[in-house]
Structure 1
């Protein structure tokens, strides 16, 4: 009985956290996962009903051990973007480069899923639509420039959001504040001044 009571309390706490983030729909199923980093844990609720392809890919990446020993390596802040760019604020990470990536997935837009890039949303990084595989990012603050229809990218397809942080945003912000002084070979690169000199290790990502 005590174990059941504790399980119910944990479930209610998760639901309240997501409702507070303004992201939970009535009777919606979520899959909670924990991103364990060298600076602390980040708990994320994934939305398999709204973003089934992207969530399934992320879970399979987890199960294959792709993120064990991966890195958060990019921190985008107001002080390291070019003035002409549409402002975004986020941290980006991905798989352990010693592990081969799985095939890329179909692009699920925010117009399809209804998951906008608000504070704490997790989303897939990509080049062209349909190229996302294991790289992902977490937003800090609202980032409408990453949603479908934004002109930040010429294709206007935005990025594939698939969940939201329900605890550990303090860790996300701590990662974002890491020094970004690592050199980039191409001086015209859009990530110039955004690569961490000491990336933050992803110890593992596991189901909660």
Structure 2
């Protein structure tokens, strides 16, 4: 009975998550661009999301926003040429939702070949492991990062990452976060000197009415 209840809870959560995403898809399809405000303890960042070019990715991001998932989230990882163990080297800051929030199901990978959204200075994109594995973690590019585009060399599978928006104001805040090097010790060599000892808190992310 306990196992059945657990399976039922997982099924209901998946159905609810899909309902939230579907609702966000329907809502975001009304406009080609949706603006949002990221409020952090270091200042505000205004972004625009390309609902027409990356509908799956944007709808997923909006679903997390509407579920208040980013309230209490954080920018916790900073990457630059001086601390990047990957190849080619990149410059980004990585954020995530509150760790108390339960992730929605992973989404399909919308590649830059499909969306035509390149990883330029200020571009927002989804963090991921394998293809079709992104949930809510995202990053912001500091400077152009072509290695993250489709066929770029940063990810061995060559699919790149799903860019879906860009910063329109507040790049000074993004760059200030990226320059933080007060990091903590970690066991994984790949992210050594990248995980902030005191992450920059995301107070909220809210949609700006069109």
**Residue 80 (str. 1) matches residue 70 (str. 2):** no
**Match in the other structure for 2:137:** 135
**Match in the other structure for 2:21:** none
Are 1:75 and 1:180, in contact at CA under 8 Å, matched by a contact in 2?
no
**Residue 48 (str. 1) matches residue 55 (str. 2):** no
Q: CA deviation at 1:128?
A: 0.3
Q: Structure 1 runs of 4+ off > 6 angstroms?
A: none
Q: CA deviation at 1:178?
A: 1.4
Secondary structure in 2 matching 1:150: coil
- Which of 51, 69, 78 in structure 2 is aligned with 1:66? 69
Query: 5+ residue gaps in structure 2?
Result: 1-30
Determine the C-alpha separation between the residues in 2 that align with 1:30 and 1:201.
26
- Normalised to the residue count of structure 1, the TM-score between the two structures is 0.83
**Match in the other structure for 2:195:** 195
* Paired residue total: 178
**Match in the other structure for 2:3:** none
Higher mean displacement: 172-181 or 120-129: 172-181
Are 2:87 and 2:153, in contact at CA under 8 Å, matched by a contact in 1?
no
Query: 5+ residue gaps in structure 1?
Result: 1-27
Q: CA deviation at 1:151?
A: 2.0
**Match in the other structure for 1:39:** 42
Determine the C-alpha separation between the residues in 1 that align with 2:110 and 2:184.
32
Secondary structure in 1 matching 2:139: strand
